Structure 1
Amino acid sequence: MIKAIRTVVVIAFAMLSLDAFAAPLVQTQSGELSGASDGPVLAFKGIPYAAAPVGALRWRPPAAPVSWQGVRDATKFGASCEQPRRNSTAVIPWTAEYLADPPFSEDCLFLNVWTPTLHPASKLPVVVWIHGGGFTEGSGAVPIYRGNHLAQKGIVVVTINYRMGLFGFLASGLLDAEQGSSGEYGMMDQVAALEWVKANIAGFGGDPAQVTIEGQSAGAIAVHHLLAAPSAQGLFARAIAESNSWADTALVPRERAEAIGDKLASLSGATTLDALRAMPADQLLALQTDARLGDHVRFFPVDDGKFIPAGMKERTDVPVLLGSNHDEASAFSPTWQIATSRAYQAMLGDRFAPLSAQFAALYPVKTDADVSTTVRRLLADSASAGVIAWSQARDEHAAPAYGYRFTHPEPGPLAARFATFHSSEVPYAFGTLEYGHRPFTAKDHAISRQLQSYWSNFIRTGNPNGPGLMTWPQLDSGNFMQLGDTQAVTPLLSKEQRDAFRDWLAAGGRIGLF
């Protein structure tokens, strides 16, 4: 009898042990998924949120994902979307943890989910990350975007892929004749991902009514577009735009985009859409950077007349957190490296006309030794002026908005050259400092914890403030939050500087990050 009892106990213990180590399972509308533990949270990777946009589905709105039978393995990232291969010898601040890894494919409409629980009753807040990369490169699988740390704060984290470059934003007369418009496929993908989240995230412990969209660089531009797109209404409750490229939120004029698309079709030798859709992806990628298309040709979201109808403005009933880094321009703009008074005066005359004299008085230099610091401060202030202009354009009943400037240089061998470079805040906000090989210190980890606290509070409530944190005022107070080695509530710009940027914009000036 005692032996039989012992046998039952051993079997029961074994069953409990097996259950403890069993793969987590989630049922979605397309089928069942098997994930894996990622430290103290659960991860589900490579989940298809739309059908593969290949063959006849190339350059079409995203179609519903194909259902599957049985349990689909969701322990590995899916392929990243097609993109040019980066030159590994380029001198850049972004090391491997910032970059998308192969494989690359057109079959790439996948998303990834990290969650602390699978109980639908938990109704946890959700954040959907939209990666940057100039609408040309990037992936939801980039190491610093991994959601295991934020998920430990009681947040369901989703990262997504979307079509980029000519695969996501090609416009042409051929496509218009077929569909009535073209050039917004990548943005449609993002809406499809948000629709998937709304339909399925409860099974991952998330609350579909408490979704925050968050993007950086091109992803921040996408956030602004989603705030204006009727198809995205009701799919998110809050928004974060990091490295807020305010000046680049203008859609590419339809005529210009179609002229580029028609020229690309001509260079390809294809005379029909069937022929274009049959071309191998690598041949199309080569055409994307073909000099015969023209100088500085880029494939960005297009003013197709449908995705964002004419006259449609951003919604203002959504709380927004947005800002920039001090040295956004360090990796892109030759202006950032100006070192002589003569070059500085020439830049002011070229960039800030007809108010160049006013800017020279506000940002004076006496000797060449003053130039570098002054130029970098002017560029940082220009980015913040874009946030101010965006804020002032909102109506008086708009939901709260919170502005920031991040000032901490990310350490590494190129820190002196690139300082607080474009996207350097991302691993601090995600808490993913362990990826890569930078010499992070206790100070870096403290800054990361601070950013994660502010960001997670905003994702939960639409307000970054919480116990133990310096109070972050709303933008309409005239103040930003400066985050980094020192933290301060500050207007950043004087009244005279704000007025100068306002007058310059009214005279046709264009504010950008770089």
Structure 2
Amino acid sequence: MINVIRTIVVVALAMLTFDAVAAPVIQTQSGQLSGAWDGHVFSFKGIPYAEPPVGPLRWRPPAPPVSWQGVRDATKFGASCEQARRDPTVVIPWTAEYTSTPSFSEDCLFLNIWTPALHPASKLPVVVWIHGGGFDHGSAEVPVFRGNHLAQQGIVVVSINYRLGLFGFLADSLLDAEQGSSGEYGMMDQVAALEWVKANIASFGGDPAQVTIEGQSAGAMAVHHLLAAPSAEGLFARAIAQSNSWADSTLVPRERAEAVGEKLVNLTGATTLEALRAVPADQLLALQADPRLGDHVSFFPVDDGKFIPDGSKERSDVPVLLGSNHDEASAFSPTWQISTTQAYQTLLDQRFAPLSARFAALYPAQDDAAVPSAVRQLLADSASAGVIAWSKARDSRAAPAYGYRYTHAEPGPLAARFATFHSSEVPYVFGTLEYGHRPFTAKDHAISRQLQSYWVNFIRTGNPNGPGLMTWPQLDSGNFMQLGDKQMVTPLLSKAQRDAFSDWLAAGGKIGLF
């Protein structure tokens, strides 16, 4: 009988332990959250970090989240921010694991957390992921952004949504009259998410003084903006910018943004903010792509005079890790398809004037067969030249910065076409190779472990180096770390190439990823 009772007690305790692990409950400033046990870590999803920006709150700075009673379920992702739906027939390198088909809504200001510990005394380093997508699409729900693998290495991983497209970056005189400025709502969302993290992350085992912001593509541009924004000061200690596009981080001039905004407002027929805020989201999305707005119109962060005041520079007291993939342009730029010497010469004349002859000598193509490789190398070096230019502009006493180039082509049906494409490093950094159906090999997993080791070290200390890893020198040494198929420390660009890019920039050239 005693053995039976003992067995019942053991089973009961085991059930209690399982329930405690399976449904952890955490207290935040807004209320309690019930999460889940996600393999080897705890996860909490769909956490509101601001009040839904809908109705009268559309195109307003984010407001603090409304408190709730009882325990809120945090086991499912919240809606992704409104955006145009992708055409599934377009041939792109990003298969399903790079995209998401969740519910979309203006009520989308949610964040997600993966953590190995749930006690404030843990004081684990924290990384906040800012997704890319050209500031007009994307989601924290994308499978390759899942944080469970990184969290297993002793860090707290946070991913966030933020308003996109015209919902996040509309500038207009009506909004200016109401608020004094407009066009930075999506960036304000990111600051609000970081403020939420600072106030609440200790309950999830994180250290609010050890937060790293990490972004890719538009997320990398956002990292640069946050480095310069006074409202973000003190909210993070380190920064990572993947597919870094520092040269494209310039804010859209206010006059230009407002001219587009005025056209869009006129197309809605609204004459008041109340009427404009009542226009259905799908109607606004349709107008966002209306040719009457002009050619190649995008809604990007605006120079509103407030979020980043005139003359503001990036803070130099924050260690930064940044770099690019070898073939960033393969998914976007028609330049990637150039195959004749005539077309190559046109590219040089149009993009690299007045130094086109100098670049032709540095990146020669004697015949049509040599053009594709010359173009590929020129575009890769151009992206790295942007990192070099950023580094040279920093104060000599700035915190350490580390540059990289990633060279491993992700396997898949279009690997030969897109090579080391834009964002192909992301699943390796997150360790999420299990998503999707690509023919990964032991080499892919080894590269993933290597990248994660460097990234986790940086998130912990501001320095990617650690035991068992090749030493990664700081950028001020003039060297990059090449990661991927062949790891090595390299200057990447010769002195002649560096000088050519520097002189071209001084003559008005503009370096971009694509």
TM-score by length of 2: 0.99
Q: Does the residue aligned with 2:43 lie in a helix, a strand or coil?
A: strand
Q: Does the residue aligned with 2:372 lie in a helix, a strand or coil?
A: helix
1:4 positional shift: 5.8
Cα deviation digits, residues 270-297 of structure 1 (max 9, x gap): 1111001011100000010000000000
1:9 positional shift: 5.4
Cα deviation digits, residues 104-146 of structure 1 (max 9, x gap): 0000000000000101111000000000000000011110000
Amino acid of the structure 2 residue aligned with 1:161: N
Q: Which runs of 5+ in 1 are unaligned?
A: none
Cα deviation digits, residues 44-76 of structure 1 (max 9, x gap): 000000000000000000001011111000000
Q: In structure 2, how many angstroms separate the alpha carbons of the residues matched to 1:263 and 1:370?
A: 46
How do 1:350-369 residues align onto structure 2 when only pairs under 5 Å count?
350-369=350-369
Q: In structure 2, how many angstroms separate the alpha carbons of the residues matched to 1:485 and 1:176?
A: 51
Match of residue 120 from structure 1: 120
Q: In structure 2, how many angstroms separate the alpha carbons of the residues matched to 1:499 and 1:100?
A: 43
1:368 positional shift: 1.1
Q: Would you say the 8 A contact 1:171–1:302 is kept in 2?
A: yes
Q: Does the residue aligned with 1:44 lie in a helix, a strand or coil?
A: strand
Amino acid of the structure 2 residue aligned with 1:196: W
Match of residue 107 from structure 2: 107
Match of residue 18 from structure 2: 20
Q: In structure 1, how many angstroms separate the alpha carbons of the residues matched to 2:308 and 2:274?
A: 28
Q: Would you say the 8 A contact 1:201–1:208 is kept in 2?
A: yes
Say whether residues 1:163 and 2:156 are aligned partners. Answer: no
1:32 positional shift: 0.5
Amino acid of the structure 1 residue aligned with 2:8: V
Match of residue 131 from structure 2: 131
How do 1:26-425 residues align onto structure 2 when only pairs under 5 Å count?
26-425=26-425
Q: In structure 2, how many angstroms separate the alpha carbons of the residues matched to 1:483 and 1:210?
A: 26
Q: Which runs of 5+ in 2 are unaligned?
A: none
1:382 positional shift: 0.1
Q: Does the residue aligned with 1:266 lie in a helix, a strand or coil?
A: helix
1:100 positional shift: 2.5
Correspondence for 1:10 among 8, 11, 16: 8
Q: In structure 1, how many angstroms separate the alpha carbons of the residues matched to 2:40 and 2:452?
A: 17
CA-based RMSD:
0.9
Cα deviation digits, residues 324-364 of structure 1 (max 9, x gap): 00000001111111111111111111110000011011111
Q: In structure 2, how many angstroms separate the alpha carbons of the residues matched to 1:180 and 1:5?
A: 75
Amino acid of the structure 2 residue aligned with 1:316: S
Q: Would you say the 8 A contact 1:479–1:489 is kept in 2?
A: yes
Cα deviation digits, residues 471-503 of structure 1 (max 9, x gap): 000000000000011101000000000000000
Q: Does the residue aligned with 1:125 lie in a helix, a strand or coil?
A: strand
1:12 positional shift: 5.0
Q: In structure 2, how many angstroms separate the alpha carbons of the residues matched to 1:6 and 1:369?
A: 81
1:20 positional shift: 2.3
Amino acid of the structure 2 residue aligned with 1:82: E
**Percent identity of paired positions between Structure 1 and Structure 2:** 81
Match of residue 491 from structure 1: 491
1:322 positional shift: 0.1
1:102 positional shift: 2.0
1:247 positional shift: 1.6
1:16 positional shift: 3.4
TM-score by length of 1: 0.99
Q: In structure 1, how many angstroms separate the alpha carbons of the residues matched to 2:222 and 2:100?
A: 19
Q: In structure 2, how many angstroms separate the alpha carbons of the residues matched to 1:471 and 1:344?
A: 38
1:101 positional shift: 1.7
Q: Would you say the 8 A contact 1:183–1:304 is kept in 2?
A: yes
Q: In structure 2, how many angstroms separate the alpha carbons of the residues matched to 1:19 and 1:355?
A: 69
